[in-house]
Structure 1
Amino acid sequence: MSDTLKVVCPDCDAINRVAAARLGDGPVCGVCKQSLLPGRPLILSAANFDSHVSQSGLPLLVDFWAPWCGPCKMMAPVIDRAAEALATSARVAKIDTESEQALAAHFNIRSIPTLAIFRNGKLIARQSGAVDLKTLLDWFKAQTA
Structure 2
Amino acid sequence: MTTATSHTLVCTECGQLNRVPAGKALSQGKCGTCGVTLATKKPRDIDGATLSKLMAKDTGMYVLDLWAPWCGPCRMMAPSYAQTAEALGDQVRFFKLNTDENQQAAGRFNIRGIPTLIAFKDGKQAGIQSGAMQKPQLMSWAGQILGIPQG
Count residues with an aligned counterpart.
144
**SS in structure 2 at match of 1:29:** coil
For 1:21 and 1:143, how far apart are their aligned partners in 2? 17
Equivalent residues in 2 for 1:50-129 (5 A)? 50-129=52-131
Q: CA deviation at 1:57?
A: 2.6
Unaligned runs of 5+ in 1: none
Which TM-score applies when normalising by structure 2?
Answer: 0.86
Paired with 2:50 and 2:26, the residues of 1 have a C-alpha distance of: 24
SS in 1 for 2:49: coil
Going from structure 1 to structure 2, the CA distance change for 1:92 and 1:24 (only over 3 Å counts) comes to closer
C-alpha spacing 1:131/1:4, structure 2 compared with 1 (3 Å) = same
Query: 2: CA distance between counterparts of 1:120 and 1:24?
Result: 15
Answer yes or no: is the 8 Å Cα contact 1:53–1:60 preserved in 2: no
Name the CA shift for 1:77/1:101 in 2 (closer, same or farther; >3 Å).
same
Q: TM-score w.r.t. structure 1 length?
A: 0.89
Matched letter for residue 23 of structure 1: A
Give CA-to-partner distance per residue, 1:119-144, whole Å, 9 cap, x none: 23322211111111110110111112
Aligned-residue sequence identity (percent) comes to 36
Distance, in Å, in 1 between the alignment partners of 2:40 and 2:127 is: 24
Greater alpha carbon shift after TM alignment, 113-122 vs 70-79: 113-122
Q: Which runs of 5+ in 2 are unaligned?
A: none
**Does the 8 A contact of 2:27 with 2:39 survive in 1?**
no
**RMSD in angstroms over aligned alpha carbons?**
1.7
